[in-house]
Amino acid sequence: MGLSKHIRSFVDARFDTETAEHFINKQVHKRLPPHTGWLHVFGSLSLLLYLSQTITGILLLIYYRPTPEAAHKSIQYITAEVNFGWLYRQVHAWGATLMILAVVLHMTRTYFFGAYKKPRELTWVTGVIIFIVTITFGFTGYLLPWNQIAFWATTVGTESANQIPVIGEWLRYFLRGGDAVTGETLSRFFVVHVIILPWILTGLIAVHLFLMRATNLATLEKVGEEKPLQPDQGIPFFPVHVAKEGVVAVLLLAGLVTLSVVAPWEIGEPANPLATPAHIKPEWYFLPSYQLLKYFEGPHGAFIGILACSLPFALLLFWPFMDRGKHRHPKKRPVAVGVGLVAVLAALFLGVLGHLSETDRTVFGRTYHFDLLGRPHQVTPSSDLSQRKHAE
Amino acid sequence: MNKRMNAMEKQPTRRGFLDWLIGLCSVVTGAALTVPGLLYLWPAARGGASEDVEVPNASGLAPGQSAILQVRGKAVIVVREQTGFTAISAVCTHLGCLVKWDGSRKEFLCPCHAAVFDKNGAVVSGPAPAPLPTYRVKEVDGKVYVSVA
Ligand code: HEM
Ligand code: FES
């Protein structure tokens, strides 16, 4: 190929390509710690989903209209009329859920492998901020289709800001752009979702990746006893780990398309500010907080509830500075591993309770009603009838 | 760097003063650019003085029935009682869902976390921390008007 040679010599004559090439080679042929395996792919999975969300988000922006009158119709138009519009909408909606899942799994992996310890505390801290930004992406994007469930979930979500003493009312007014959720809220959420958060996330990811490369991946050795990997030690980033990432990328694309076809997201009814639908629930990643809030009653209950929901995030943020133990290997950190397991199980438990609450489920032929707090009550056919009568 | 700082502490220099002045100007310029930006983000108030809004079709309501309408951006329930009309905020004081009037129990029920309010808006049960505010209703020539402060 003559052309590529020409381009090469053109660039060579003007820039110091050797340094750049050396740098890239060093990155590509870096050695990863010997325990690097499939559990280490969640970071690149999150990165792929970030790229996918950016591309599908920009495509959606071409036809989406951020006003109360037009938003819902524009999503219907994207789904029904635009070529492959349904696919990009579905991949964006499913990508949102999978991105949060990928970030959570990535955090869980680094937690249990003690990778947040010195000198990687800041990599962890930027990771926690990325997690919070990702959730905020989900919260702001959810409102954009302007359907009933999103409108009311956003009403309830922004209302909880009101429970914070002193600044609560101010904050709610600010978030909503007024007293209630209106077109002003939609505009605000839209700008945050498509401009502000994408740039913040891009910057955070850049810093996160830079820190990751600057300190290398953590081994399982104790803090301060890590030895740099020699060129014949550990696992080559290229091709061994890159191959795993390739497999994950293909599976992700297959998964996104399959989910989009098999379990498409509904558009739902357009928002009606004068009718609250029964049983509004937030997305699954808010269910643990949603459920936890219910257990706090009384005059200051809601505020204490909000504190209880923020505490896990504060703990995550400062964890590397609280856990000063030198060991990284999970077997040598029973307390940290125990705390992590309890936290994961508690979140799962609360999430499941939140999911079940206020529904009827039939298990082995028996029907149970799960109340507000998620407690099951068996419904016998007769008590069912009398309860119905009572409610009417 | 350290040496220079030490020298500065000992006696003011022209260089030190200029550094300080540049720093001050940067802070002032930064603040002058940021403050209007922050104020810009503050929602501008909408609507003028409180005015009366007519309840459409109020005469069509039988005693015990209710209607929901928006008055200056606020959701309000108007209930027809034997003696006249009452108006009450429909926004649940718990987390902002809209309550519904249950004519047979004479209570307002919230669909979200099951708060119950009596016909005057006082909390009967559930998680709501405060009563529902009531609004002024006027009947003029068979027409019903609500005003929210
Ligand atoms: C990075 C650039 C992004 C842009 C430009 C963007 C843009 C958009 C647009 C225009 C919509 C409205 C169309 C629709 O609702 O289907 C939307 C919806 C949404 N976005 Fe994004 N988005 C981005 C990233 C993300 C990320 C990272 C997440 C979550 C992790 C996310 C979560 C959502 C959700 C949950 C919806 C609602 C989906 C639905 O119900 O259809 N977005 N986004
Ligand atoms: S919003 Fe009405 S009970 Fe929670």
Q: What is the ipTM of this complex?
A: 0.81
Which has the higher per-residue pLDDT, A327 or B60? A327
* Chain-chain contact of B75 with A273 (C-beta, under 8 angstroms): yes
Preceding amide of A119 cis, omega within 30? yes
pLDDT one-digit tens code per residue, A279-310:
888 999 999 998 998 888 767 777 888 899 99
Atom 1 of ligand 2, residue of closest alpha carbon: B95
Check CB contact under 8 Å for B73 and A182: yes
Task: Count interface pairs A-B at CB distance under 8 A.
Answer: 61
User: Phi, psi at residue B30, to the nearest 5°?
Assistant: -60, -45
Q: Determine whether the shortest distance from the Cβ of B91 to ligand 2 is under 6 A.
A: no
Query: What residues of A are in contact with residue B98 (Cβ under 8 Å)?
Result: 274-276
pTM: 0.89
Q: Which domains does chain A have, with CATH numbers?
A: 25-273 (1.20.810.10), 359-392 (no CATH)
- Take residue A245 and report the two structure tokens written for it: 């990432």
Q: How far is CA A331 from CA A33, A111, A336, A337, in A?
A: 18, 13, 10, 8
User: Residue B47 Cα, ligand 2 centroid: separation in angstroms?
Assistant: 28
Residue having the nearest C-alpha atom to atom 3 of ligand 2: B113
Other residues' Cβ atoms within 10 Å of the Cβ of residue A203: 11
In 3D, which of A194, A156, A187 has the Cα closest to residue A172?
A: A156
Q: Which ligand has the shortest distance to the CA of A301? A: 2
Tell me if A288 sits within 8 A of A347, measured CB to CB. yes
- The ligand 2 atom at the shortest distance from the C-alpha of residue A159 is 1
The answer to whether the CB of A102 falls within 8 A of the CB of A94 is: no
Q: Find chain A residues with C-beta within 8 A of B102's C-beta.
A: none
Could you read off the pLDDT of A322-354 as tens digits, one per residue? 999 999 999 999 999 999 999 999 999 999 999
As beta bridge partners, residue A309 has none
- Measured CA to CA, the distance from residue B34 to residue A91 in angstroms comes to 38
Q: Does residue B115 have its Cβ closer than 6 Å to ligand 2?
A: yes
How far is residue B73's CA from residue B17's CA, in Å, rounded to a whole number? Answer: 56
Q: Which residues of A touch B70 (CB under 8 A)?
A: 273-274
Per-chain mean pLDDT for chain A = 92
Label residue A261 exposed, middle or buried (CB < 10 Å: 0-12, 13-18, 19+).
Answer: exposed
**The tokens 């053109």 sit on which residue?**
A10
> Which pair of structure tokens corresponds to residue A253?
């694309």
pLDDT at B147: 86
Q: Across residues A375-384, what is the average pLDDT?
A: 73
* Sign of CA pseudo-dihedral A303, A304, A309, A311: positive
